[in-house]
Structure formats: C-alpha cells, structure tokens
C-alpha cells in the first residue's frame, strides 16, 4: 500500500518556519549533499499541500526563488475549504474529508505520497490516522518562535524510530514510523496491553 510520509526540516526548537513563513535559517549551514532528498523524491509521485503552505510557495515563485515551482511531473493536491476559482494546471484543490481522500489515494496504484505540510494539515491527517512516517531533518538552530511542525492537538501519537543519521554540519535526520493502526473507522494505538497488578494477600 502507498504510504503518506512527512518529509520536512525543523529548527532545533521544533519549528518548520518563522511566523511569516520564512525559512532563511535553513541556509545558514554549509550543505552536505542533498540529505537523501533525491532518493526520496524518486520514491513519490504525489505531494499534499495545506493552503497556507501553498500560498507561501506562490509567494516564493513571485520572488523568483529557485525550486519553488510546482512540479508538473507529480500530482499536487492542495487542501482548502474555499478553493480559488481558477488554479494552475499542476495543482488540484481538495475539499472532501481527509479519510475518504486518503483511502481513495492509497487504493490508486502509484508511488508513495509526500505530505509537504504545514502544521495544520499534518495535524489533521494525524487525527484521521493517515500519516505513516515522518522523516525529520533537525537543523542545529533555535529560532525562538515560529510555525510548529504539528498544530496543537489534544492527542498522543506513539512513534517507532526507524533510523538516525547525523551530518557533519550538525543536521540530524530522524526517521519515524507512526505506530497507529486503522481498524474500520477507529484509530487505535498499537500499545502492549497493560498488566494487571498482582493482588497482595
């Protein structure tokens, strides 16, 4: 089955961008290869965007920032309650419920799916049990305040560590599996049953 994977970078204090969407702090370190981005990008054929992240990408395109264009070789879906009247050919807006959309997408043959973010759509997919893995590149920089990796939710999501890789410039790549299982419409954490305490006589 196709997996939905969050592949992202965060500051050391857990933010994916400044409050205004800027990610200038990502360029402060000397690059070390592509941090596995090339191999990951070859493993996906679909990208999921939240509306705010989509708008940030549009702004980057207006500024002429390299790499901000929407790749026409992959499918780009943007989640929005109020999609604009006209869209780019490479982008399709989604208004249907997350679970229905994700299940239909998983049932369609193809490669894995990149959850681009931001924090709101990542949290919404987590709530629906529709995130499989996180690949997080932690950049050794505190930015003080910003947009968190995941919007605040009142839930606990267990993760299983798959791998850790450190780079010479201090970046650490963490690969986690989300330890949730789908049981019909219910999302159940895969936790070992608690042992009942023995009674003392």
Domain boundaries, the chain: 11-44+122-170, 45-110
**pLDDT score, position 22:** 85
Give the homologous superfamily in CATH for domain 45-110. Answer: Dihydrofolate Reductase, subunit A (3.40.430.10)
**pLDDT score, position 85:** 76
- Measured in degrees and rounded to the nearest 5, phi and psi for residue 117 equal 110, -170
Whole-model pTM?
0.85
Quote the Cα angle for 38-41-43, to 5°.
115
Question: Taking 50 as the threshold, does the pLDDT of residue 187 lie above it?
Answer: no
- Measured in degrees and rounded to the nearest 5, phi and psi for residue 54 equal -60, -45
**pLDDT score, position 155:** 75
H helices of 63-97, where? none
**pLDDT score, position 69:** 86
**pLDDT score, position 61:** 87
Contacts of 74 (CB under 8 A, 6+ apart): 44, 45, 46, 47
**pLDDT score, position 154:** 64
Neighbours of 51 (CB within 10 A): 18
Question: Is the Cβ–Cβ distance between 168 and 140 less than 8 Å?
Answer: no
**pLDDT score, position 27:** 84
The overall average pLDDT reported for the chain is 87
Question: Taking 60 as the threshold, does the pLDDT of residue 13 lie above it?
Answer: yes
**pLDDT score, position 197:** 44
CA Rg value for the chain: 18
Sign of the C-alpha dihedral computed for residues 96, 150, 129 and 114 taken in this order? positive
**pLDDT score, position 148:** 94
Question: Taking 80 as the threshold, does the pLDDT of residue 180 lie above it?
Answer: no
With 0-12 / 13-18 / 19 or more C-beta atoms within 10 angstroms meaning exposed / middle / buried, residue 103 is middle
* Terminal Cα-to-Cα distance of the chain (whole angstroms): 52
**pLDDT score, position 140:** 95
pLDDT digits (tens, 9 = 90+) for 19-38: 988 888 888 888 888 999 99
Question: Taking 80 as the threshold, does the pLDDT of residue 99 lie above it?
Answer: yes
Sign of the C-alpha dihedral computed for residues 106, 114, 116 and 154 taken in this order? positive
pLDDT digits (tens, 9 = 90+) for 100-141: 999 999 999 999 999 999 999 999 999 999 999 999 999 999
- Torsion angle, alpha carbons of 14, 137, 100, 83, to 10: 70
């Amino acid at each position: 089955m196709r997996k939905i994977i969050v592949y992202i970078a965060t500051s050391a204090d857990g933010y994916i961008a400044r409050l205004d969407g800027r990610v200038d702090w990502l360029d402060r370190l000397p690059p070390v290869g592509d941090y596995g981005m090339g191999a990951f990008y070859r493993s996906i054929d679909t990208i999921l965007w939240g509306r705010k992240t989509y708008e940030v990408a549009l702004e980057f395109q207006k500024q002429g920032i390299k790499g901000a264009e929407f790749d026409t070789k992959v499918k780009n879906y943007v989640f929005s309650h109020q999609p604009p009247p006209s869209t780019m050919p490479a982008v399709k807006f989604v208004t249907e419920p997350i679970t229905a959309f994700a299940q239909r997408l998983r049932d369609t043959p193809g490669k894995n799916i990149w959850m681009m973010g931001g924090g709101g759509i990542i949290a919404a997919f987590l709530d629906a049990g529709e995130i499989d893995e996180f690949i997080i590149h932690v950049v050794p920089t505190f930015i003080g305040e910003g947009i968190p990796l995941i919007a605040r939710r009142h839930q606990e999501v267990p993760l299983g560590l798959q791998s850790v890789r450190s780079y010479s410039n201090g970046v650490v790549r963490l690969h986690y599996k989300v330890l949730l299982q789908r049981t019909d419409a219910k999302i159940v954490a895969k936790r070992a049953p608690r042992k009942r305490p023995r009674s003392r006589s």
